Structures are given as C-alpha cells and as structure tokens.
A = this chain, B = another copy of it.
Amino acid sequence: MITYPQGFRASGVTAGLKASGKPDMALVVNDGPDHVAAGVFTTNRVVAWPVTWSRQAVADGRLAAVVLNSGNANVATPGGMAITEATARAVAAALSCEPRDVGVCSTGVIGTMLTADPLVAGVEMAVPLLSSEGSSAAAEAIMTTDTRKKEATFEAGFRIGGMAKGAGMIAPGMATMLCVITTDAVIDADEANEALAAATSHTFNRIDVDGCMSTNDTVLLLASGASGIAPDPAVFREGLTAVCADLARQMIADAEGASHDILITVTNSATEAGALAVARAVAQSNLFKCAVFGNDPNWGRIISAAGTVPEAVAPFDPADLAVIINGVAVAEHGVDTGRRDEVDMAANREVTVEIQLGSGNESAHIWTNDLTYDYVTENSAYTT
C-alpha cells in the first residue's frame, strides 16, 4: 500500500518483459514536499546494474521516484548499465527531475539479454497512469514467481505503506526481494537510514527460503513529509519494523513451492549472534527441510545442523541441547525423550522449532520453509 501515506502516486503496466504478458513495470513517485530516501541492498559481490545505479542514486539521501521491472534481473547483461541509466532518464524527463533522483530496481531471470526499448516504452506508459490509487497495480507488476502481491500499512498519525516481491533465492543477507516503503512522516535522511537498517536487520534479514543470496535485493524507503508530523524516532522505527515484518512474513507464506512455514527460535544462548548462527544453520539444512515436508519431526537433523556452528560463534555443550517441535520436547539434555510420536506437523502450515542451547539468556529467530517437490519443479524449469 505504497499510496497509503500522503504524497505518493503509483502505477503498474505491461512493458512486455515477461513472456507471460503479465504486468512487469511499476512506477512510484514521491510528490513531496520532502524527497528524503534511504536504501538497503544485497551484500552479494555480483550485483545487478540497477543495484549499482540505485546505491549511487540514494547516497545523497534523496529520491523523487522509483521504477521497478520484473521479467529480467539485468545482471551480467552486456550494456546493462546504459539500459538502467536510459530507464532512469526516461522517468526523470517525464517527471522533470534529475536522473540521479530516480531509483531503479529489476528482478527476474539473471543473464539473459535485454535492451532499453521496452523499459523506456514502459515508463512512457506508466507515467500517465500514476495515481494515488495505484499501489495495487504497482505491487502486482513487480511479482515474479510470487503467487500474490505483498502489501502492508502502519498508522500513528503519520502513515507508512509498503510493497514487496520475493518468493525464491531468499537468503542470508537479505531476500531476493524488491521492497518499496513510503511514509508521509517528516524525517531526515540520517533518521531514515538508521531506521531502515534497524528494521531490515530484524525482519528481511531473518528470513531464509533457500540459502541463496540474490544479486538484486533492494529495499528503498521514501519519505514525503506530507503529513507534517515529525514522529518520535522510536515510534517511527516501531512502525517501520512492523511493516517490514509483515512483508517478510508474507514472503515466507508465499515461498516457492513451500508447504510449511517454519519458525526456528534459538534460546538460552550466550549471545544473540550465536543464537542467530544456529538458527541459520538449521534453516539451511536441506535434510531438515525435507523432513518437515514429510511431516517428520526428525530432530536428529536439527542437532546435527546446530553442531556445524563453530564453538567460537555459539558456545554450547551438545549434552545440554533441548529441542521442542510444535510444543513437544523431543530432546532434552542432548538425548532423545522418546516423545517424537506426539508431534503433529501435518495439521498446520506453520511449524515451530525451539532449540535451547543451555548457555545463556539471548535468543534469535529465523523464518524458513520446507523443501518440496514444487520447489524443485519451479527451480528446475524457471528459465527454460
């Protein structure tokens, strides 16, 4: 709901990048009065040209618009930077702003050829359709293997709205995701940056569908100041985090081929970082994820994944480990409790796993999904 805050217009159109003929370009415009912006990007060293462009564009804390396309990720494409720049220039010309005030995001297949023509033509279609009712069309146009659009809102006098896409290649650093968040709060660029970094680290950075870090991940925050309200920074962060958490949870619920959403919580850890490392190790175990698909509370695969984390990262004694699946303690003091058969995993999509390390009071969680036939299907036939 990126047009939920005051001062924003959006549209979504079909530029012809998707073979399916579905909408594939979204435009989001900040009509001000402020044009404050912040961004968070993939930590992958191989990045899409639009990531390189948008990092530079947002570096001065200012954006007037964001253009997003699905259907082609514009990674490793010959001439890809010129294509990105042409897209930004087309937006800038139509909106009478500077090209460097236009963020560009792309998602879709990596490494297939692309020209600027459909992107520029798409911009020309999208500009006249810009509207304060356009959030839904924009959210739809950025979908790839997503089966539904992902939107969220927050209100506390001022408003925050967000849209996101992401269903696969969702991993450690951040998801293969594009996300645009808008707000009509009055905030400065430093505050926007700090709030966005804090919010993403506890939301988008805590989901892991398949351990595969993307080349295109981008989260952009645009602030129009149109509400005239300068919120308490803590309230703003809380709202921003709630919107990001909502969108992240929607991504897990729509993850490629998944039949279960899995919340892995690691507790009684000496440090939060250690808890997070153990949670990530479990979330990235294909054997564990296959077991969940089979509704099998195979906790041996949980502790064997936990045991791959170096002691320096997460100090714990394997003899102290406890594992609780959907509320049933299947292992205590490092050994089997014989209660495996009490665990019912088939009843609900959501599965909870708690791992108690017995070495402190810190905790962390990761959301992930099971590994299914449908995941293999989607990812073995994606480009062919």
Contact = CB atoms under 8 A, between A and B. Distances in A.
Contact of A301 (B78, B212, B331): B212
Contact of A306 (B46, B47, B210, B335): B46
B384 A45 contact: no
B376 A290 contact: yes
A300 B334 contact: no
Contact of A331 (B76, B211, B308): B76
Contact of A304 (B113, B214, B286): B214
A157 B294 CA distance: 51
Interface stretch (A98-106, A246-254, A367-375): A367-375
Residue from A80, A298, A306, A309 whose CB has the most chain B CB atoms within 10 Å: A298
A154 interface: no
How many copies of this chain sit in the oligomeric assembly?
2
B215 A307 contact: yes
A76 B211 contact: no
A128 interface: no
Contacts of A146: none
A77 interface: yes
Nearest to A43: B308
Given A211-B286, A284-B211, A376 B371 contact: yes
A201 interface: no
Contact of A75 (B112, B215, B294, B300): B300
A344 B302 CA distance: 38
A380 to B, nearest CB: 3
Interface in A75-132: 75-78, 80, 109-113
B46 A290 contact: no
Contacts of A350: none
Residue from A76, A321, A334, A336 whose CB has the most chain B CB atoms within 10 Å: A76
Given A111-B299, A336-B111, A373-B376, A212 B305 contact: yes
B304 A44 contact: yes
Contact of A381 (B211, B294, B300, B303): B294
Given A44-B308, A286-B211, A380 B336 contact: no
A214 B287 CA distance: 11
Nearest to A337: B78
Interface string A202-242: 00000000111111000000000000000000000000000
A323 to B, nearest CB: 9
B75 A304 contact: yes
A358 interface: no
Interface in A335-384: 335-336, 338, 371-373, 375-384
B376 A46 contact: no
A211 B296 CA distance: 20
Given A45-B309, A309-B45, A334 B76 contact: yes
A299 to B, nearest CB: 6
Contacts of A111: 298-300, 303, 331, 336
Given A75-B304, A303-B76, A296 B381 contact: yes
A110 B309 CA distance: 18
Given A211-B286, A286-B210, A382-B298, A307 B45 contact: yes
A135 interface: no
Given A287-B379, A290-B379, 8 more contacts: A44-B307, A44-B308, A46-B304, A47-B318, A215-B300, A290-B378, A290-B380, A293-B376
Interface of A: 44-47, 73, 75-78, 80, 109-113, 168-169, 172-173, 210-215, 284-287, 290-291, 293-296, 298-301, 303-311, 318, 321, 331, 334-336, 338, 371-373, 375-384
